Structure 1
């Protein structure tokens, strides 16, 4: 059984490892302090809505007649492309295969945040969290038992708070945190260091001047926070643009409760709750959707926000572009990053000159297709967070609040 030296793994001491090539894939085994290179097939996936990030690699063994690999399931690892770290976590599983002409090892792993998804949350007090706690303090408490750092790129002083709520025994830390993050309008993901990241997609404005003498005004785009690098005829190998209206409607009407329950309560309390609605004029025909929101109080705020969210998110999700480019890096040599804005020009699929958000990126390398990155690109509205109620009130509680004057008649009107 012959080995190809190109795919032979090389283990070096991590402290004395040479400087890697810009796109060399390396796995640093932190448990054994070794660096492994020379991978035959590579896939690394990261996304703004993907947690944890994950990877798969395979290699031909150095000694084909016996098992050899300085990695084992459970080892702490760091995956890097060149000098740039792309994932920090653990080896989840290994598969060893033998055939007449190959002897291979396949390795798969995930970010350190996998423990927040797989394991049950360790909570200081199951009776509930106090009103006024911040999302950051909750995330830090849930992540601390697993040795996971919490980071945020939200503006200073903008960390949301939340009302009192109760966690359920057996819930994972991620299930609790994701629910509260939705209430706060924040996305929960991970970063390259295996830390938990609290973030939002921020809007960018396309500069007035995008091209000069037929060439992209790259300086203007970069000043606006927009990357350059997904262009037909330059680096796009394949592209598919999906446009669908099957999930879009002309009007979204949201009811705080079912119609009959709402009628009973409003009649008893003597209040009138106007429709919470949002209209989408894109379709040009009547096509309505009625929704019961996740709340049991009589306030209109959550229902109205839900109507706006349904309209915006469905419009954003109705358009997506998948582009495979010939490099793991953009024109400035930076790795493609989830959550970043990229100026996308692929005229052949009717995607002409617009900044889109990198929703997901998959770095791939194999002997058939070489080195590529597949980007899922969407409009910012696709990442709007679904509003929800953390502490819904029952009918008896609502009546008591009304009698105490804590619930007032909402302002009439809808959002257009």
Structure 2
């Protein structure tokens, strides 16, 4: 809780026209898939130093220097007073929090398009800045009373092959990734140490959730104008999965062969997404080449001799960590490029090499 500073890497919480900083510890999360990005700060304070404006539900901007990295509200305030201790912990989430916590204000069961879900379930909860980038989102979903606003939106997004997330300025975006964007940085780990710019780099390959074959068996209910279908079947395969690992999904309400194909492809690509993860830790919170904050959605080149990697990957999540006398560290979670929501994305022509041979392109499915 100090005066303004020009430090470009200092985490600041702006609240009710005041700026608070010099934290003992802080953690600022951002994840494209997990809703409601979380933030937490802690500090030791004088007995009378807590302003009245610091209270649950207060609107905040969490900033890195002058760059806003999260817009949200305070969820919880914890203050511990003991002999020699007066500690304060403040935590909260971004604009998705109210959508995750609260029911959609819909009181009768109904079918709704993606746009209708945004208008009926999202905007009434105070989410005023919305940008829908997904064109042709016409599939309807069934909204039940009692569903959270986020569940309703997520269901509509999945039906239309897109996703939703909040940008740092508080805008809800409905769309998909841009795999044509140029990589913002190159992370290097060589055995000689020459040119290394990461503190650590871990690669996880997990076959437990991978499938060599996904089959969707479905049926479509008849209507006044069309007959029902009871023999819908579609199968997708992934030749990169070792062994025979089949998965059969039964879809009781499937609109037709195209819907069965979409479900099979999404399940296969989701399993691929979970099967490979790179976790890198770097100093600071900014991309050295541009000076911009690390942000999910960026593409990053990774060159690691110990892991046999030389390819472009997609930044799915990042966490800012640090505090007084602790330095600043960013943890980056990277996934295969072109795998998350490939049906919406235009894939660049570059192809990686190394263990993630398929990075940089969509896996061709039969």
TM interval, shorter chain, is 0.7 to 0.9
For structure 2, the 5+ residue unaligned runs are 190-194, 222-226, 344-364
**Is structure 2 residue 34 aligned with structure 1 residue 34?**
no
Q: Corresponding residue for 1:84?
A: 67
SS at match of 1:383: coil
Q: Over the residues paired in the alignment, what is the CA RMSD in angstroms?
A: 2.7
What is aligned with 1:52? Answer: 36
2:133 matched to 1:154? yes
Correspondence for 1:126 among 94, 98, 108: 108
Alignment of 1:88-99 (within 5 A): 88-99=71-82
Q: Does the alignment pair 1:143 with 2:117?
A: no
Q: Distance in 2 between matches of 1:40 and 1:354?
A: 37
CA–CA separation in structure 1 for the residues paired with 2:186 and 2:121: 38
Task: Give the aligned partner of residue 190 of structure 1.
Answer: 166
**Which structure has the bigger radius of gyration?**
1
Q: What is residue 397 of structure 1 aligned with on the other side?
A: none
Alpha-carbon distance in structure 1 between the residues aligned to 2:230 and 2:38: 50
Relative to the length of structure 1, the TM-score reads: 0.73
Corresponding position of 1:391: none
Q: Where does residue 108 of structure 1 map in the other structure?
A: 91
Which of residues 266, 286, 291 in structure 1 aligns to 2:249?
A: 291
1:175 aligns with 2:151: yes
Taking structure 1 as reference, are residues 370 and 138 closer, same or farther at Cα in structure 2, changes over 3 Å only?
same
Instruction: Tell me the equivalent position of 2:263.
Output: 306
3-state DSSP of counterpart to 1:110: strand
Question: Gaps (5+ residues) in structure 1?
Answer: 1-8, 13-17, 205-223, 263-268, 387-414
Aligned-pair distance for 1:381? Answer: 4.9
Rate the CA distance shift 1:349–1:292 in 2: closer, same or farther, 3 A: same
The alpha carbon displacement at 1:105 in A equals 0.5
- How far is the alpha carbon of 1:202 from its aligned partner? 3.0
Q: What do residues 43-89 of structure 1 show as CA deviations (whole Å, max 9, x unaligned)?
A: 0001111221110001110x2xx242121222211110101001111
Partner of 1:330: 287
* TM-score when normalising by structure 2: 0.82
Partner of 2:349: none
Match in the other structure for 1:240? 202
Deviation larger for 192-201 or 324-333: 192-201
Q: Which has the higher helix share?
A: 1
Partners of 1:194 and 1:323 lie apart in 2 by 27
Aligned to 2:356: none
User: Which deviates further from its counterpart, 247-256 or 103-112?
Assistant: 247-256
Per-residue deviation at 1:293?
A: 2.8
Q: Which residue of 1 aligns with 2:238?
A: 280
In 2: Cα distance, 1:253 partner to 1:127 partner: 30
Once residues 271 and 73 of structure 1 are traced to their aligned partners in structure 2, the CA distance between those partners, rounded to angstroms, is 52
